[in-house]
Amino acid sequence: MNAPVPPPTACGGIDFHQENGQRAVFCGLTGIVWLHRKIQDAFFLVVGSRTCAHLIQSAAGVMIFAEPRFATAIIDERDLAGIADANEELDRVVTRLIERRPDIKLLFLVGSCPSEVIKLDLSRAAQRLSGRLAPVRVLNYSGSGIETTFTQGEDACLAALVPELPRAPAEAAPSLLIVGALADVVEDQFLRIFSAMGIADVRFLPARRAGAMPAIGRGTRYLLAQPFLADTARALDERGAHRLAAPFPLGAEGTTGWLQAAADAFGVDDTTFAAATAAGRGRAETALAPHREKLGGKRVFFFPDSQLEVPLARFLARELGVALVEVGTPYLHRAHLAAEIEMLPAGTRVTEGQSLDDQMDRCRAARPDLTVCGLGLANPLEAEGLSTKWSIELLFTPVQGYEQAGDLAELFARPLRRRALLEV
């Protein structure tokens, strides 16, 4: 930690830095909190320690009480000492779980740091249990902190689904696949716009039910709805699908660019595209205008969290006139973010990785008007007089598409409005 930062390297027009040291981020297990809401008949069983159970409980808040479809199989000292065969133990726990929840069609065994370090082979366990528990399908992926950061848990989960997807017939017409969990309401809005553009066969990964996962083949064109899906994209490419390069659908401009990529790939003419998107663009413009006044010229600092930072910074800078102090991201996928990086204001400081205390020093020195950060940092920074926007909300709130552009701006404007309101 506190290792010397390598000299900045040129990457597009941005001022790119890499940093190593203490990271204040969630591990990939956290993805379960929203994924289990999305895939309604899936269950996520973490194989880990009490820390893992405690983490999910803390991150899921009150959701934990709503008979959730996730749990932890806690490894204990008998498993570590080899007194209990860990595989037999796992089979016992899973069998009991499936008996109790017969509505479950898809079970994910989710690897954690402890299970990875003791090299518990969850992929073989998943194969074995799939055979035994048919028709329940058992898959595995790792959400461990040593391998994944926060939203990368969703990437790992979706990448595990890809080899299982049905094969689309070779002669099938080109279809559009939207990749990345979106709120149901956002999916439906996009479906209507694609339909108005004349693209009829649009599917989503993940689907809302295990039995309705999309088929895939050489005719599949896919759009990433989220910037953190590197492994999923690779797995889709391996099955012959073709990625459509696009910015991410955050803000009006991002949404238009994203839709445009699909329109171009499916030969939608300019008139049809304009007609399909005009109403949405107009409404987004109306919703954004009042926020532009409040946020214009404000200086914003992003701590790394979800990989959404670069597209969000692009949206804030270009559509709301925000000045970017630093854009931290846990990982920068330059190919998937190429369109975003091009649109960032020239010279924007982008930091990949983190050395927490050094980054906090930079933030304190810069005294930004708004700091986007995790819940472990937000209150301490507020107490130092800095306004913060806690970043995890950007994952749980519908923010993509035209109709949410105003809501997205509102999420950033609210802390500033509140600070102005409070007299004590």
Partner 1 sequence: MQLTLWTYEGPPHIGAMRVATAMTGLHYVLHAPQGDTYADLLFTMIERRDARPPVTYTTFRAQDLGRDTAELFKTSVAAAYARFQPQAMIVGASCTAELIQDDPGGLAKALDLPIPVIPLELPAYQKKENWGASETFYRLVRALAGAPAPRLAREPGRRPTCNILGPTALGFRHRDDLIEIRRLLDSLGIDVNVVAPLGASPADLGRLKDADFNVVLYPETARSAAEYLKKSFGQPFTREVPLGVGATRRFVAEVAALAGIDPASFLDGPGSRLPWYSRSVDSTYLTAKRVFVFGDATHAIGIARMAARELGFTVVGLGTYSREFAREVRAEAAEHGIEALITDDYLDVEAAIRAAAPELVLGTQMERHVAKRLGIPCAVISAPVHVQDFPARYAPQMGFEGANVLFDTLVHPLMMGLEEHLLGMFREDPEFHDGVGPSHLGGNPRAASTAEAPEVTQAADPVPAAAPILLDEDVVITAAPWAPEAEKELKKIPFFVRGKARSNTEKFARERRLPLITLETLYDAKAHYGR
CB of 126 to partner 1, least distance (A): 16
Helix, strand, or coil (residue 47): strand
* 278 neighbors 286 (Cβ within 8 angstroms): no
Q: Which residue number, 109 or 409, has a Cβ lying nearer to partner 1?
A: 109
d(C-alpha 21, C-alpha 307), whole Å: 18
CB of 376 to partner 1, least distance (A): 3
Residue with tokens 């991002």: 254
CB of 6 to partner 1, least distance (A): 16
Q: Which residue number, 391 or 404, has a Cβ lying nearer to partner 1?
A: 391
CB of 51 to partner 1, least distance (A): 5
CB of 388 to partner 1, least distance (A): 11
Q: Which residue number, 125 or 246, has a Cβ lying nearer to partner 1?
A: 125
Helix, strand, or coil (residue 226): coil
Q: What are residue 138's DSSP bridge partners?
A: 107
CB of 299 to partner 1, least distance (A): 23
Q: Which residues bind partner 1 (CB under 8 A)?
A: 1-2, 22-30, 47, 49-51, 53-55, 57-59, 61-62, 64-65, 68, 70-77, 79-80, 84, 86, 89-90, 92-93, 96-97, 113-114, 116-118, 144-147, 149, 357, 374-380, 382-383
Q: Which residue number, 97 or 339, has a Cβ lying nearer to partner 1?
A: 97
Residue with tokens 């133990």: 89
Q: Quick count: other Cβ atoms within 10 Å of Cβ 399?
A: 23
Q: Which residue number, 57 or 272, has a Cβ lying nearer to partner 1?
A: 57
Q: Which residue number, 73 or 104, has a Cβ lying nearer to partner 1?
A: 73
- Side chain identity at 177, as an amino acid letter? L
CB of 102 to partner 1, least distance (A): 16
347 sits in the region (left: phi over 0; alpha: psi -120 to 50; else beta) called left
Among 177, 15, 42, residue whose Cα is nearest residue 106: 42
Q: Which residue number, 30 or 189, has a Cβ lying nearer to partner 1?
A: 30
d(C-alpha 408, C-alpha 398), whole Å: 8
Q: Which residue number, 182 or 377, has a Cβ lying nearer to partner 1?
A: 377
CB of 374 to partner 1, least distance (A): 7
| Chain centroid offset of residue 152 CA | 7
CB of 120 to partner 1, least distance (A): 10
* 129 neighbors 5 (Cβ within 8 angstroms): no
d(C-alpha 183, C-alpha 174), whole Å: 25
What DSSP assignment string belongs to 257-302? Answer: HHHHHHHHHTT--HHHHHHHHHHHHHHHHHHHHHHHHHHTT-EEEE
The C-alpha angle 194, 197, 203, rounded to 5 degrees, equals: 25
The tokens of 424 are what?
């004590």
Q: Which residue number, 89 or 410, has a Cβ lying nearer to partner 1?
A: 89
* 408 neighbors 287 (Cβ within 8 angstroms): no
- Helix or strand (DSSP H, E) at 327: strand 323-329
Name the burial class of residue 411, with classes exposed (0-12), middle (13-18) and buried (19+) by CB atoms within 10 angstroms of its CB. Answer: buried
CB of 12 to partner 1, least distance (A): 26
Q: Which residue number, 70 or 273, has a Cβ lying nearer to partner 1?
A: 70
CB of 153 to partner 1, least distance (A): 10
The tokens of 381 are what?
């920074």
Alpha-carbon distances of 93 from 73, 117, 379, rounded to whole Å = 7, 21, 39
Q: Which residue number, 31 or 311, has a Cβ lying nearer to partner 1?
A: 31
- Scanning 198-250, the segments in alpha helix (DSSP H) are 230-238
